[in-house]
């Protein structure tokens, strides 16, 4: 057997690696052994097993989410014995030097953090402590012949008894540890060790009382109790996230202060005759709160025909949500510690890194700007919002640049991959406004893949696809208070950048819920503030503008406290821009152009255009959509619709063409020699290639250029205020014979007027915009 295989077997015999580790698989290679030996915790355990006591276990960071080694595997008595050495004496010398290529193997496999620690899940002895303390006599296998009611009653009794024993444990901690230790510990040390345990005790006093009262009436309202207590149980997020630090603080005080050590030992003997240390008892609250959803799940499984089943189901979901919230708070605190380490290691950094979101990945890359093509060795920290570019200086880093991802897009560079050389696997960050971009080079293709995945994830976090759906404006946000998602009603979990916040209506949501969030509750219409008294509404009241613009004498408005609309003079109001539900509308400036039809549904545009010749088009404002405008065009007896994309301060009709504004895009379309561009856009959007090659289509195009039938919105603006106040009819549409900036009623002729649409008498109405 090859020596590296003997080494892998020896590590398993020493109980350093699990028996089924991939190093003993038939397909294993020497690289698998080298990868396993990168785990420092594993090496510390190997030393501990060979020479118990040679490693101070308190100094080891087990990091259960990463390490291959379980904390429960540690113990001076667990691994006593004699380990056979390797290589065996009968091992023949291997003439083939398999070890000479480890560096090449490392390059091929990409030594990433994801693969080092994937051997076995880590166990936690906290469960054993909890089970030993919170013993339940009624917990036994469900017996044959037991009815569902019997099983349900067993579940109810278990919940009640375990809650009573848990509360008794909390009382023991308070009476036998917290009160006596105040004599020798400062308030700061007390808070560091016991966190907010006093608040936890008060909550569970009330919870136990509520459970006991409910059990007297059969326990049918248990689900309601947990729903009511969910908000109060959120304090466990703080306790659980500081629990490890509490244990560490206690260990340090015991090791450095004799008076604390003696006092803690005295207290320990008063609790179950010294069976459990305070460090063990501090774990119990976290174990308890993470058991509630399991207890309720079992109860729900035996409540199929019970009337309270739906309430129990909601309570189960609430406790599952609570458990996920606590885990996320704990994870966020660990993340903040990691961010703090980054912060202290980067010189000249004047901002707080936590403001940039969560760290995604960090490592060495080669970087060059698009302008300066020189590759430079840099250490990169990628966060949700930014790329921190540094130069390594020993054990610290010198800040070189901060790249804000909001202003960039990522693009692959497949050409360099063909070189098959180190540091030739690249990708780009391209500035959206054409400013300086960057190119990053990775050592291997696998490294490049991982970096690009993390970049995509970061950009998706700050610019999610559905951020502006249903008129919302969602942005990644840190919520100061516990907030529920508007869509799923579950908690936004964690302690920073928990979710997304709409700047228009104040709604919070998970990223995955943005696509199902309901329409923004704030009205799209601007609100105005009254500056003079008028009949029915006092000065200072907010009103909603339903119809009208700054040039209109009379407006149709709705006061904030009224259900019906009014039509007062526009001079009685001033704009209150702070109340706008969306960025200031630019619709007013578009009404002056004959191609703009205002707010119009897709079907309405179809009906207007279907009776006109091919090439007739209009631009309309879409209702309740993320993209505000669309071009509707009749082409080959069909009406098609093309979204106008507003992105990165540009107007896009195709990816290949962008404009500074909607006006510029329309000027381009309508200009001589460019009108066919609209047909080009249509062909690109619908796949109708080759249409323009038809002579008939070309002749039609010439006709359209000089005689376009364009729908234009006309609102009745009666000169007599009395008529206006009596009620204004819905807008009607007329058509004009050519494209002009303005048009009077006289230009509308009977030949151009579609059948069924009334013609206004000249002089009594004004054709507005």
DSSP letters for 116-176? HT-SSPPP-THHHHHHHHS--TT--PPPTT--HHHHHHHHHHHHHHHHHHHHHHHHHHIII
User: Per the domain annotation, does 538 fall within a domain?
Assistant: yes
Residue range 4-31: mean pLDDT, rounded: 81
pLDDT in the model for residue 148: 87
- pLDDT single digits (tens) 374-386: 889 999 999 999 9
Same domain, 592 and 696: yes
Q: Which residues of 306-329 are buried (b: 16+ CB within 10 A; e: fewer)?
A: bebeebbeebbbbbbbbbebbbbb
pLDDT in the model for residue 524: 52
- pLDDT single digits (tens) 146-163: 888 889 999 999 999 999
pLDDT in the model for residue 693: 31
- Structural domains counted in the chain: 6
Asked whether the beta carbons of 651 and 659 are under 8 A apart, the reply is: yes
Same domain, 325 and 255: yes
Same domain, 264 and 359: no
User: Per the domain annotation, does 131 fall within a domain?
Assistant: yes
User: Per the domain annotation, does 343 fall within a domain?
Assistant: no
Residue range 173-193: mean pLDDT, rounded: 95
**Nearest partner of 38 among 121, 109, 86, judged by Cα:** 109
**Nearest partner of 381 among 421, 413, 351, judged by Cα:** 351
pLDDT in the model for residue 625: 57
For the chain, the distance separating the N- and C-terminal CA atoms, rounded to the nearest angstrom, is: 90
Cβ-based neighbours of 692, under 8 Å, separated by 6 or more: 676, 679, 680, 683, 698, 701
**Nearest partner of 185 among 92, 118, 250, 108, judged by Cα:** 250
Same domain, 565 and 640: no
Q: Which residues of 87-119 are buried (b: 16+ CB within 10 A; e: fewer)?
A: beeeeeeeeeeeeeeeeebeeebbbeeeebbeb
Cβ-based neighbours of 599, under 8 Å, separated by 6 or more: 587, 620, 621, 623
Left, alpha or beta for 274 (phi > 0: left; psi -120 to 50: alpha)? left
User: Per the domain annotation, does 340 fall within a domain?
Assistant: no
Query: Which of 76-90, 138-152, 317-331, 647-661 has the largest mean confidence?
Result: 317-331
Q: Give the number of other CB atoms < 10 A from CB of residue 563.
A: 6
pLDDT in the model for residue 447: 92
- Higher confidence at residue 33 or residue 261? 261
pLDDT in the model for residue 764: 34
Beta bridge partners of 618: 632
CA distance 321 to 485: 12
Same domain, 574 and 600: no
Q: Is the peptide bond before 366 cis (omega within 30 degrees of 0)?
A: no
User: Per the domain annotation, does 336 fall within a domain?
Assistant: no
Query: Which of 43-47, 157-161, 430-434, 543-547 has the largest mean confidence?
Result: 157-161
Instruction: Find the range with the poorest average confidence among 16-20, 61-65, 393-397.
Output: 61-65
Share of the chain above pLDDT 90, in %: 40
Same domain, 592 and 500: no
- pLDDT single digits (tens) 285-301: 999 999 999 999 999 99
CA distance 144 to 284: 33
CATH code of residue 384: 2.30.29.30
Write phi, then psi, for 460 (nearest 5 degrees).
Answer: -65, -30
Asked whether the beta carbons of 45 and 16 are under 8 A apart, the reply is: yes
Same domain, 651 and 750: yes
- pLDDT single digits (tens) 437-466: 999 999 998 999 999 999 999 999 999 988
- Higher confidence at residue 457 or residue 47? 457
CA distance 383 to 381: 7
Instruction: Find the range with the poorest average confidence among 31-45, 53-67, 248-262, 633-647.
Output: 53-67
Instruction: Find the range with the poorest average confidence among 39-53, 351-365, 510-524.
Output: 39-53
Same domain, 663 and 741: yes
CA distance 181 to 260: 8
Q: Which residues of 164-180 are buried (b: 16+ CB within 10 A; e: fewer)?
A: eebbebbebbeebbbee
DSSP for residue 435: -
**Nearest partner of 531 among 492, 562, 571, 567, judged by Cα:** 571
Residue range 239-265: mean pLDDT, rounded: 94
Q: Give the number of other CB atoms < 10 A from CB of residue 264.
A: 21
For the record, the structure tokens of 285 come out as 């609250």
Query: Which of 205-214, 479-488, 655-664 has the largest mean confidence?
Result: 205-214
Asked whether residue 98 carries a pLDDT value surpassing 90, the answer given is: no
pLDDT in the model for residue 584: 41
State CA 581 to chain mean position distance: 24
Same domain, 111 and 131: no
- pLDDT single digits (tens) 325-363: 999 999 999 999 999 999 999 999 999 999 999 999 999
CATH code of residue 549: 2.30.30.40
- pLDDT single digits (tens) 479-508: 999 999 999 999 999 999 999 999 988 999
Same domain, 90 and 159: no
**Nearest partner of 357 among 463, 258, 260, 447, judged by Cα:** 463
pLDDT in the model for residue 767: 34
For the record, the structure tokens of 749 come out as 């002729």
Angstrom distances, CA of residue 61 to CA of 66, 248, 252, 358: 10, 11, 15, 22
**DSSP 3-state helix, strand, coil percentages of the chain (rounded to 5)?**
40, 20, 40
Beta strands in 692-750, from DSSP E residues, in sequence order? 710-714, 732-736
- Tell me which residue has tokens 């604390």: 260
State CA 18 to chain mean position distance: 36
CA distance 257 to 728: 85
User: Per the domain annotation, does 532 fall within a domain?
Assistant: yes
pLDDT in the model for residue 201: 97
DSSP for residue 513: G
**Nearest partner of 39 among 69, 8, 79, judged by Cα:** 69
- pLDDT single digits (tens) 677-732: 455 555 544 444 433 333 323 333 333 333 333 333 333 322 233 332 333 333 33
Angstrom distances, CA of residue 558 to CA of 175, 388, 720: 63, 51, 21
**Domain final residue, candidates 301, 331, 361:** 331
Same domain, 318 and 369: no
Helix, strand, or coil here: 410?
strand
Same domain, 82 and 226: no
CATH code of residue 301: 1.20.900.10
Q: How confident is the model at residue 44 (pLDDT cuts 50, 70, 90)?
A: confident
pTM over 0.75: no
Handedness of CA 359, 361, 364, 369 (dihedral sign): negative
Angstrom distances, CA of residue 7 to CA of 17, 309, 388: 11, 56, 41
Average pLDDT over the chain, rounded to an integer: 75
Asked whether the beta carbons of 271 and 282 are under 8 A apart, the reply is: no
Residue range 600-616: mean pLDDT, rounded: 82
Asked whether residue 423 carries a pLDDT value surpassing 90, the answer given is: no
Enclosing domain of residue 155: 126-331
For the record, the structure tokens of 455 come out as 């970049």
Sheet holding 474-477, edge to edge: 474-477, 499-502, 508-509
Asked whether the beta carbons of 617 and 610 are under 8 A apart, the reply is: no
Asked whether the beta carbons of 630 and 663 are under 8 A apart, the reply is: no
For the record, the structure tokens of 625 come out as 């959509």
Asked whether the beta carbons of 365 and 451 are under 8 A apart, the reply is: yes
pLDDT in the model for residue 95: 45
Counted residue by residue, the chain has a size of 769
DSSP for residue 585: P
pLDDT in the model for residue 363: 94
**Domain final residue, candidates 331, 364, 384:** 331
CATH code of residue 711: 3.30.505.10
pLDDT in the model for residue 292: 96
- pLDDT single digits (tens) 620-646: 887 655 577 888 888 777 888 888 887
- Higher confidence at residue 110 or residue 702? 110
CATH code of residue 87: 1.10.418
CA distance 621 to 713: 12
pLDDT in the model for residue 553: 72
Beta strands in 178-306, from DSSP E residues, in sequence order? none
Query: Which of 5-9, 210-214, 304-308 has the largest mean confidence?
Result: 210-214
User: Per the domain annotation, does 120 fall within a domain?
Assistant: no
User: Per the domain annotation, does 763 fall within a domain?
Assistant: yes
Helix, strand, or coil here: 345?
helix
**Domain final residue, candidates 331, 365, 394:** 331
């Amino acid at each position: 057997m090859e020596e590296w295989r003997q080494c892998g077997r020896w590590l398993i015999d020493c109980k350093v690696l699990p028996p089924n580790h991939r190093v003993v698989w038939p397909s294993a290679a020497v690289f698998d052994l080298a990868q396993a030996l990168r785990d420092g915790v594993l090496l510390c355990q190997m030393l501990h097993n060979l020479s118990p006591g040679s490693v101070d276990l308190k100094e080891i960071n087990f990091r259960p989410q990463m390490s291959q080694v379980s904390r429960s595997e540690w113990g001076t008595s667990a691994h006593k014995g004699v380990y056979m050495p390797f290589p065996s004496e009968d091992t023949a010398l291997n003439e083939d030097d398999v070890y000479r290529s480890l560096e090449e193997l490392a390059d091929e496999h990409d030594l990433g953090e994801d693969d080092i620690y994937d051997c076995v899940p880590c166990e936690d002895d906290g469960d054993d402590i909890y089970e030993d303390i919170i013993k339940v006599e009624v917990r036994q296998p469900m017996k044959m012949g037991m009815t569902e009611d019997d099983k349900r009653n067993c579940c109810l009794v278990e919940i009640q008894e375990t809650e009573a024993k848990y509360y008794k444990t909390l009382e023991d901690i308070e009476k036998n540890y917290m009160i006596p230790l105040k004599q020798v510990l400062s308030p700061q040390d007390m808070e560091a060790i016991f966190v907010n345990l006093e608040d936890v005790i008060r909550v569970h006093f009330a919870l136990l009382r509520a459970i006991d009262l409910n059990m007297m009436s059969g326990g049918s309202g248990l689900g309601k109790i947990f729903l009511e207590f969910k908000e109060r149980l959120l304090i466990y997020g703080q306790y659980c996230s500081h629990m490890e630090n509490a244990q560490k603080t206690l260990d340090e005080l015991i090791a450095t202060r004799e008076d604390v050590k003696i006092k803690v030992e005295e207290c320990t003997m008063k609790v179950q005759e010294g069976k459990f240390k305070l460090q063990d008892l501090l774990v119990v609250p976290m174990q308890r709160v993470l058991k509630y959803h399991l207890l309720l799940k079992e109860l729900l499984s035996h409540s199929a025909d019970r009337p309270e089943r739906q309430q129990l189901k909601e309570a189960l979901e609430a406790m599952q949500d609570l458990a996920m919230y606590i885990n996320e708070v704990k994870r966020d605190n660990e993340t903040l510690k990691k961010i703090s380490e980054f912060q202290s290691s980067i010189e000249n950094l004047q901002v707080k890194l936590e403001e940039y979101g969560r760290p995604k990945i960090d490592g060495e890359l080669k970087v060059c700007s698009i302008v300066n093509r020189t590759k430079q060795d840099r250490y990169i920290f990628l966060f949700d919002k930014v790329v921190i570019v540094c130069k390594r200086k020993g054990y610290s880093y010198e800040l070189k640049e901060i790249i804000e991802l909001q202003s960039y897009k990522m693009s692959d560079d497949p050409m360099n991959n063909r070189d098959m050389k180190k540091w030739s696997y690249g990708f780009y960050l391209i500035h959206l406004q054409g400013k300086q971009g960057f190119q990053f080079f990775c050592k291997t293709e696998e490294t490049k893949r991982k970096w690009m995945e993390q970049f995509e994830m970061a950009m998706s976090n700050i610019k999610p696809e559905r951020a502006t759906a249903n008129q919302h404006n969602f942005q990644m946000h840190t919520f100061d208070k516990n907030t529920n998602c508007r869509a799923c009603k579950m908690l936004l979990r964690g302690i920073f950048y928990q979710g997304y916040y709409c700047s228009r209506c104040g709604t919070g949501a998970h990223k995955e819920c943005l696509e199902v969030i309901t329409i923004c509750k704030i009205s799209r219409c601007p609100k105005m503030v009254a500056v003079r008294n008028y009949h029915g509404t006092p000065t200072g009241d907010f009103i909603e503008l339903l119809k009208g613009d700054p040039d209109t004498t009379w407006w149709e408005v709705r006061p904030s406290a009224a259900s019906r609309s009014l039509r007062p003079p526009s001079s009685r109001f001033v704009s209150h821009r702070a109340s706008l539900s969306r960025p200031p509308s630019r619709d007013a400036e578009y009404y002056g152009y004959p191609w703009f039809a205002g707010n119009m549904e897709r079907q309405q545009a179809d009906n207007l255009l279907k009776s006109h010749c091919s090439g007739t088009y209009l631009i309309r404002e879409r209702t309740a959509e993320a993209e505000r405008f669309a071009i509707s065009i009749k082409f080959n007896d069909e009406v098609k619709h093309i979204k106008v994309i507003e992105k990165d301060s540009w107007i896009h009709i195709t990816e290949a063409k962008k404009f500074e504004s909607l006006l510029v895009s329309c000027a381009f379309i309508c200009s001589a020699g460019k009108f066919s561009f609209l047909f080009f856009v249509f062909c690109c959007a619908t796949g109708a290639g080759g249409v323009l090659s038809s002579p008939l289509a070309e002749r039609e195009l010439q006709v359209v250029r000089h005689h376009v039938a364009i729908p234009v919105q006309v609102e009745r603006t009666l000169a007599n205020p009395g008529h206006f106040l009596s009620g204004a009819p819905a807008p009607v549409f007329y058509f004009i014979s050519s494209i002009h900036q303005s048009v009077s009623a006289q230009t509308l002729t009977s030949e151009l007027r579609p059948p069924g649409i009334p013609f206004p008498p000249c002089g009594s109405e004004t054709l507005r915009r």
